[in-house]
Structure formats: C-alpha cells, structure tokens
C-alpha cells in the first residue's frame, strides 16, 4: 500500500510539472511581448567575424587545372587535387605541415597558414584564382531557461511529450528507411538516451581524425537533432522522424560555439563526400551577407547539393530582414530549402526573416527538445524551424497546411506539413 501511495504521489508531482511547462510555453507563444528572447537562437547577427592572422583559403582557377574532378568519384579526385596542391606548395617552398584542409566538391582549393610573402608568391601562380583570409565566426546563441532533466529509468508511466511543433507539421512519424540527417552544427550529445546518434559517420573540423570529438559542448546541435529525430519511447520528447539517424558534423566548438570559415567549409565538404542522394543536411546558422559575406559557403552549398542530390535545409535568420540578406540562407537551388519561423498561432515569429528565397515556414517559438548532458530545453529561432523541415524532407516531397499569418509582404510562406500514412521513402528529385 505504501509503495502504491508513493507511486501515486510521484505521478501527481510529475503531472503538475508538465502542466506548468505547458502553460509557460503556451503563454509565451501567444504573447507578442518578445519574452521568448531569453531562449532565442540569435543567428550571429550582432557578432562580427574576425580575421585569423596568417591563415588563408586558397581557391584554384578550375579551368587552369590539368584535370577535371568527377563528383561521383571523390577519392580519386581528392587524391589528384592533393598532388596538385603538393606540387604548388613545393614550387614556392611552402611546408606542407601548414596545409590543413582540402576542398574538391564545392570549389577546388585548400586552407593553409602562410606568411604575407608566401601568400603573394602563391597568388602569382596561374592556377590560383584568389586567396582570402580565414575567419573566426560565432553561432552566438543566447541561453534560455535552465535545462530540464528526465530519468529514463523511471518507467511507471509514459511521460513522453510531443512538442507542439512536431504536431503542427503532422508528426511524429516512424522511420524505417536508410537515410540520415547530417546536423552541421555544434556536435550532438552522443550519449543522449533520447537520440539515435550515428557517430560512426560523424566529423570534427578541428582535430586530427584519431582525436575527433563529436560531443556537443554547447547544446544547439543537440536541440536541432532532437526536433529532427528524438526517439519514440516512454520519456523526454519525440522528434518529427522518430529514431532517424542523426550524424554530428561538428563545425562549431566549445561553449561559445566558435567556428572558422575553413572548418565550416570542411564540414559541408565532408557531407558532400559521405551523404547519399536523398539524405538531408541541416544548417541552422548564418550571417549578414553585407557585414559578414561568405560566398565560398554559398557556392559549396549550392554545388554540393545539386551535384550530390543532398537536401540542404537552412535557417533563414533572426533579424527580421528579407530572406535574401543572410548567408547561406540566400542560396536558392533545386536542393536547398530555406525556412522561416512561426509561433503556435501560425504567425510569422517576430524575429524571423521573410520573403524570397524562403520556401517553407515551420514552428520556431518555444520549441522543446533535447539538450546536451542528457537534458531538455525550450528554445526559439529559425534554427529551431529548419529541423522540422529537415525531418519532413527525409520522406520526400513536403506538403503544406495553410500560410503564415501577420506577414509583412505579399509573398507568403506555406507552412510545412506531411499527412499521416505517407511515411514511405519519398522521392529524391524535387
């Protein structure tokens, strides 16, 4: 009897906690007082990039190279380009130890440390198109309320929550296919009990392969991963595509979520190399195209997505600006999908970008999902919208369910959706 009483008291306490969380989420989502800023994901709109001294990205003139790369034969092409690069560096007396990234898919080039003199010598070579400074960038996410922890060992009742955003796009869906979602972000909590993390195919842009660390030191990537594919079990949350493998592509590192241009490009390159046609990559980051342009990233995203038929789902940005003002969100390709944010009343979120080339709107206010260290957290931003669409896209074509309200221009974003009963493999082509 005493055991039953304890169990009953536990259920009451946990139910009250869930109700309180639900009320907070509903109240914050319905009010237009911007109170959700506490957990808003600010896509680097107010934190300018910084030039890294003596570190550069060298871009080849493709028509001056003695070979043509086949996008379907990465290994051969990569090795040919490596030999070409070794020859170039040897000719100008540059030590190969200074060279640390090679790019062959999005563009042909490499990242390297150089003195000013050696930079000018390389620039004089007929094969070199340009040499641009490498930069440090920041994800710049403002933290929200304290994370919530759930004990998966307590199986007295099903305490799993279906987040409002997952419901709004038609989910959750069960997935039994072979595709993956590649999360280009801060890494993923590889031991989170609510995620199916494919760390075997993961990537770390900043360490030697033997020292690769895919674990999330910030939380952003784990939150994105949970919205995409948190497991359908008895605790925590469930994602749009429950249990789909999420692959950590770690290009932002540390608690401040710092990145370099060369590292971000390496992550996108790696996805182009490893992902299969029909796979999806989520890019929940971006910068102002005027103050922090990143044309090489735009070129890489467009070329890799189209050559490899990999879907690139991109957060539009959180500065309430037109959709074509942020990079890489401004990329408009056959296999790119830029996403704006809605609240739980289908209104354009007060922070969201809008207009061309945005293709869908999806929930992005007070989104409850997984967090690092096995926890869960509410967060807001177009970073939270994109993974809803990334999850839907794994099945193929995306349906819509109405249009966003309170839009500042005539161009309206359709709200991404998928009907139940269409959990098949879908299509590769749009």
The answer to whether the CB of 25 falls within 8 A of the CB of 366 is yes
Burial status of residue 31 (CB atoms within 10 A of its CB: 0-12, 13-18, 19 or more): exposed
User: Which one is catalytic: 36, 41, 134, 185?
Assistant: 185
C-alpha of 118 from chain center? 35
- Say if domain 35-48+140-417 classifies as CATH 3.30.450.40: no
Identify the architecture of domain 51-135 in CATH: 2-Layer Sandwich (3.30)
Domain ranges across the chain: 35-48+140-417, 51-135
Could you state, in chain order, the average pLDDT of each consecutive group of 10 residues for the chain (430 residues)? 42 40 34 37 60 96 84 84 94 90 94 96 96 92 61 65 97 93 98 97 93 96 98 96 98 96 98 96 94 94 96 96 95 98 96 96 97 96 98 94 90 90 41
Query: What's the pLDDT score for residue 141?
Result: 61
d(CA 366, CA 343): 8
The answer to whether the CB of 352 falls within 8 A of the CB of 364 is yes
β-strand pairing of 246-250 with 181-185: parallel
Torsion, Cα 236 237 239 242, to 10 degrees, reads: 50
pTM across the whole model: 0.86
The contacts of residue 38 (CB under 8 Å, 6+ apart) are: 142, 143, 144, 145
Residue that the structure tokens 């060369």 belong to: 262
d(CA 161, CA 178): 26
User: Which one is catalytic: 49, 340, 380, 383?
Assistant: 383
Query: What's the pLDDT score for residue 172?
Result: 96
Annotated catalytic residue 383: yes
User: Which one is catalytic: 100, 192, 218, 220?
Assistant: 220
Annotated catalytic residue 220: yes
Annotated catalytic residue 234: no
Question: 58 to each of 42, 76, 134, 140, 301, how far by Cα in Å?
Answer: 30, 21, 10, 27, 18
SS3 80: helix
SS3 335: coil
């Amino acid at each position: 009897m005493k055991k039953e009483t304890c169990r009953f008291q536990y259920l009451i306490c946990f139910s009250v906690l869930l109700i309180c969380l639900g009320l907070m989420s509903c109240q914050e989502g319905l009010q237009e007082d911007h109170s959700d800023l506490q957990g808003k994901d600010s896509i680097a709109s107010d934190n300018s990039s910084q030039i890294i001294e003596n570190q550069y990205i060298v871009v080849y003139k493709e028509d001056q190279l003695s070979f043509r790369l086949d996008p379907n034969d990465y290994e051969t092409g990569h090795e040919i380009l490596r030999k070409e690069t070794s020859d170039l560096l040897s000719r100008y007396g540059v030590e190969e130890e200074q060279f640390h990234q090679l790019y062959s898919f999005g563009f042909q080039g490499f990242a390297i440390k150089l003195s000013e003199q050696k930079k000018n010598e390389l620039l004089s070579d007929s094969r070199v198109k340009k040499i641009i400074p490498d930069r440090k960038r920041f994800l710049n996410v403002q933290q929200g309320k304290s994370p919530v922890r759930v004990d998966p060992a307590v199986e007295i009742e099903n305490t799993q929550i279906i987040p409002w955003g997952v419901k709004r796009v038609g989910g959750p869906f069960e997935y039994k296919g072979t595709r993956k979602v590649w999360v280009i972000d801060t890494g993923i909590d590889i031991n989170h009990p609510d995620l199916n993390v494919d760390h075997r195919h993961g990537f770390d842009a900043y360490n030697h392969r033997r020292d690769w660390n895919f674990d999330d030191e910030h939380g952003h990537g784990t939150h994105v991963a949970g919205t995409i594919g948190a497991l359908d079990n008895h605790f925590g949350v469930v994602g749009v595509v429950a249990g789909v493998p999420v692959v950590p592509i770690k290009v932002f590192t540390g608690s401040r979520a710092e990145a370099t241009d060369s590292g971000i490009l390496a992550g996108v390159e790696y996805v182009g190399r490893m992902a299969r046609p029909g796979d999806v990559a989520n890019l929940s980051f971006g910068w102002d195209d005027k103050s922090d342009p990143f044309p090489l990233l735009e070129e890489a995203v467009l070329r890799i997505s189209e050559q490899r038929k990999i879907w690139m789902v991109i957060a539009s940005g959180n500065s309430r600006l037109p959709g074509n003002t942020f990079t890489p969100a401004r990329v408009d390709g056959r296999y790119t999908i830029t996403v704006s944010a809605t609240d739980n009343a289908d209104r354009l979120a007060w922070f969201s970008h809008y207009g061309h080339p945005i293709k869908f709107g999806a929930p992005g206010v007070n989104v409850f999902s997984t967090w690092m260290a096995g926890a869960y957290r509410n967060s807001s931003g177009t970073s939270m919208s994109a993974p809803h669409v990334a999850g839907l896209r794994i099945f193929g074509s995306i349906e819509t369910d109405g249009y966003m309200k309170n839009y500042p221009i005539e161009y309206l974003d359709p709200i991404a959706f998928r009907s139940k009963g269409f959990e098949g493999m879908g299509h590769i082509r749009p």
